[in-house]
Structure 1
């Protein structure tokens, strides 16, 4: 896959600004930016091993593309793109490619609120209703919610259930309209009582910023936070048609696919819709590592960071950056990585993952932006941190599910089972044969897949996974159907897992499997489906009509058998 990045000597500091820019960024459609002049840049360290490992991860973990950056000793020392901004157009990702950054947006909301607090226009202990008289929730406890509680996720706000990405709103009134619509929402606890992450609270904070300043939320962020930080291309707004140079969202159903939608809605701009690139998020890391001032740029008083990065709440067990515990600052999470305090934020929406980690005592930061919501991104971030901190890093073991599910879709169930068993027999130490990535695929299919994909994945899982894992998957689907009884995709997946419905229709005939490939098979029935395997209801989805994937020969796809 295509790899692009900054080679030694191509990254420069814009004179007097502290802004790191590649040569192409000096020239805009309007001409040369008078604020940027190029002195010589320091040579970047040799990261060839890191680059190769990252490329291997992109190739073997089903990632369409990503961009990463490392900050060290007050400059960007590594910035590189891998893969493509869109798997269909195959335009390469570069360090300048703009990504949807999801919840990293919240650190910019917090900065805006702290600016207004510095100016005396907002008090952290102010009640929310002092700033939004029309705000209400379904019980009177909302009157006690404070600005600080919203910033540290102890307000008792519920979370957003439906972001309405499929029906985005682009008008200026979307945010206030959303806030006014919340009067039927119920609080999940008393204000200040417990930590519970809430995107809704941050969306409402965006409206507080707008009403306190007399500006649109996105305008204030652009002028007073992003441009003030030297992030000239970053923006909370998105054009309706995605331009070249912007990464597209991808979903991993059986194979990576472009999602034709996009996670954008101005009602959720504060919690989720900052668009930025690796270089400018490295700039954000630099100005925060320097406590609000970098060159001619200033976003906060240095003294504000004692509040911003103070732990105000403790995470529940198993939460936090790298599941390391720790607690909640003002938007920023505080944790530990191999003995160093880390401060950061992560974000994930349909088709995107973003992670920003600062190591303040080492003047180090790493940025990871990816065009899919994939948990391997935290392992990638750990690899970046190890490289920055000087620790050895181990190559990641790829899941066999990625390779086998491509075969499943292209060649069918028999070929996929045969390949799975061959990999287990011949390459037992080179692949991860666990169920985790199958669950990720199942989650993606349940959210935005087809009945055909659900049947394929469930039949494969039923045949190759241990019986206790199949039972676990069945129980998870039963729970889902209790909550969402109209979920036909979940019902199809459950029927295929529990009763084998649809497996015979997929051509599952055990004698097709080559002799000897059953050795070590986990299934008690010797990889032969002895439970009833009957024709289930036909899936009406035509593989040729799947909107996010280009089928070169739809008739040969395993999906066409369903």
Structure 2
């Protein structure tokens, strides 16, 4: 039986309390479950206004609605464990479902989990604490504290702590590596030194590009400034004072029996779950990905942030540091910005700050509205198609606008399970024809119907079957440039350049305007060009 819980913590003494650079392949694989969570009155960012930025309070009936919503999400998606914390004017409410490991240990608000890039927010907090203590300045050059910090050329000398915090340093993006893990005492310094011969991607301070190395180098800086290890200093001066006693940037500090384990989808047709062998930790990335925490602990940090740096009547961060923490550093477009680790979106007179990751067997997302003093954290020990940010948005929509929540069955999963059970695409096609009109029960969209084809193409290496799914999808969504691009990519993998070019041309004929689609068209065009050049070279090489 699935474990499920609902708990509410209301402190008696407190009266209050969304890669910048588009990656087409990642988007194709991960984005398509977004339509499953439906808000009866529309999407969060079209919400009605919150007059006078009132502090939000959650009613008992709303709490039960959220509990029901989380329960339905857990039973609708292939998710081992799911936990949500809602911080509002009255305190903290926890909602959780499922298991933390293959031993079926319950996933609760005290389960320790890998937080992903939410680590950055706690590193930024540590840096701001050092600023408050006059030990560093945000505009200090990195080389002032790390003389061995270096990039190709000489411009690196002007890179400051602020540039690192806002991902504006120009440091190239590198994926984190957990296998094998490093526990070496000098692991963070090794990370800092590893980029010394690399050229910056752009002049510092001119734009932003996410690189985990920014925060790993900042963790190294903390250690050198304080004379303590980064993990030890952060624990003694940030985590413990905040009451985050079950949290650490070092997995070795934590009890293994309380640690949530990562899961993955072992079969992308049947959606079977399997606990992963590799755990995502390496001390070389302690700053960018090292934080392990509990829902209970991270909620205490969130309460402090939402209360202008105060927790339980004690000033933890100075007000000027809180202002820096929420400052918009770089503008992406009219409504999107980045900040000190944050993704910032302004819409309908509200400003949403978010941070999250979907990788390495965990999904996490934290979304807050500082002016309303409300925030939501969602975490799960699965990565892939599940997107925690949409859980957060749905709960905030209920919280702010008193709107009902509805969870629809994702067509992508049921379609794939039909293929797994019958071994036949035709059976899945017939099933879809039956349920297509049941839009009150199923999440029906081009994205949902395309996803099984994406899985067949990229995860199961079955391009011919993928093309059949995409062509079926085209019958039902004939005006979708996205489906034509799916067909083009599948035909490229099949090395049928003529059919790939035809599908690409049809996608362009639909004159798409969305930046993501335009970027994907450019990507497919480049791949087609490379394919045509290789075909020409091969023909010339033949006797």
Q: TM-score range by the shorter chain?
A: 0.7 to 0.9
SS in 2 for 1:208: helix
Mapped partners of 1:260, 1:61: distance in 2: 22
Tell me if structure 1 keeps the 8 A contact 2:191–2:213: no
Query: How much does 1:438 deviate?
Result: 7.0
- Counterpart in 2 of 1:260? 277
User: Is residue 407–residue 415 contact of structure 1 (8 Å, CA) maintained in 2?
Assistant: no
Alignment of 1:24-39 (within 5 A): none
**For residues 82-117 of structure 1, what are the alpha-carbon distances to aligned partners after superposition, in whole Å with 9 as ceiling and x for unaligned?**
22223x433331121222111111111111111112
Cα offsets for 1:190-225 (capped at 9, x unmatched): 011112222221111111111111111111111111
TM-superposition CA deviations, 1:71-92 (whole Å, max 9, x none): 111511x201122223x43333
Greater fraction helix = 2
Maintained 8 Å contact 1:455/1:496: no
Shift of the 153–122 alpha-carbon distance from structure 1 to 2, 3 Å rule, reads same
Specify the alignment match of 2:37 in structure 1: none
Distance change in 2, residues 1:475/1:418 (3 Å): closer
Matched, 1:80 2:80: no
Residue in 1 aligned with 2:294? Answer: 277
**Residue aligned with 1:184, SS:** coil
Tell me if 1:353 matches 2:363.
yes
CA contact (8 A) 1:407 1:416 kept: yes
Distance 1:283 1:299 in 2: 12
* Secondary structure in 2 matching 1:466: helix
Q: Calculate the TM-score normalised by the size of structure 2.
A: 0.73
Distance in 2 between residues matched to 1:331 and 1:206, nearest whole Å:
14
Structure 1 residues 61 and 497, CA, compared in 2 at 3 Å: closer, same or farther?
farther
- Cα 1:388/1:168, change in 2 over 3 Å: same
Match of 1:397 among 408, 412, 416: 408
Q: Residues 495 and 251 of structure 1: is their aligned pair in 2 closer, same or farther, counting only changes over 3 Å?
A: farther
The offset of 1:44, in angstroms, is 7.5
Q: Which of residues 129, 145, 148 in structure 2 aligns to 1:131? A: 145
Aligned position for 2:520: none
Counterpart contact for 1:348–1:354, Cα < 8 Å:
yes
Q: What's the counterpart of residue 432 of structure 1?
A: 443
Q: 1:65 matched to which residue of 2?
A: 81
2:305 and 2:378 map into 1 onto residues whose CA distance is 17
Matched with 2:466 is 458
RMSD: 3.4
Look up the SS of the partner of 2:251 in the other structure. coil
**Is 2:426 aligned against 1:411?**
no
Partner residue of 1:54? Answer: 70
Question: Structure 1 regions of 5+ residues with no counterpart?
Answer: 20-41, 318-324, 480-490, 500-562
Gap change, CA 1:424 and 1:332, over 3 Å in 2: same
Q: CA offsets per residue over residues 370-415 of structure 1, 9 Å max, x none? A: 2233454222111121233243033143321111222323432347
Q: What pairs with 1:465-480 in structure 2 (closer than 5 Å)?
A: 465-466=473-474, 471-476=484-489
Mapped partners of 2:228, 2:416: distance in 1? 49
For 2:186 and 2:427, locate their aligned partners in 1 and report how far apart those are by CA, in whole Å. Answer: 51
Residue 108 (structure 1) aligns with: 122
C-alpha offsets along residues 288-325 of structure 1, whole Å, 9 cap, x if unaligned?
Answer: 112222126553122321222122221347xxxxxxx3
Name the structure 1 match of 2:323.
Answer: 306
Pair 368,241 (structure 1): closer, same or farther in 2 beyond 3 Å: closer
SS at match of 1:395: strand
1:342 equivalent to 2:355? Answer no
* Pair 427,334 (structure 1): closer, same or farther in 2 beyond 3 Å: closer
Moved over 6 A (4+): 438-447, 495-499
Q: Residue 264 of structure 2: which of 228, 251, 258 is its match?
A: 251
From 217, 220, 234, give the equivalent of 1:221.
Answer: 234
Per the alignment, residue 24 of structure 1 pairs with none
1:405–1:416 CA contact under 8 A, matched in 2: no
Deviation per residue, 1:46-86 (Å, 9 max, x gap): 3222222222222223333210011111511x201122223
Report the CA distance shift for 1:219/1:434 in structure 2 as closer, same or farther (over 3 A): same
How many residues align? The count is 448
- Residues 436, 444 of structure 2: 8 Å contact kept: no
Q: Does residue 1:295 correspond to 2:312, yes or no?
A: yes
The structure, 1 or 2, with the larger RCO (C-alpha pairs under 8 Å, 6+ apart) is 2
Whole-Å separation in 1 of the counterparts to 2:240 and 2:152: 38
**2:456–2:466: 8 Å Cα contact kept in structure 1?**
no
Q: Cα distance 1:43–1:432, how it changes in 2: closer, same or farther (>3 A)?
A: closer
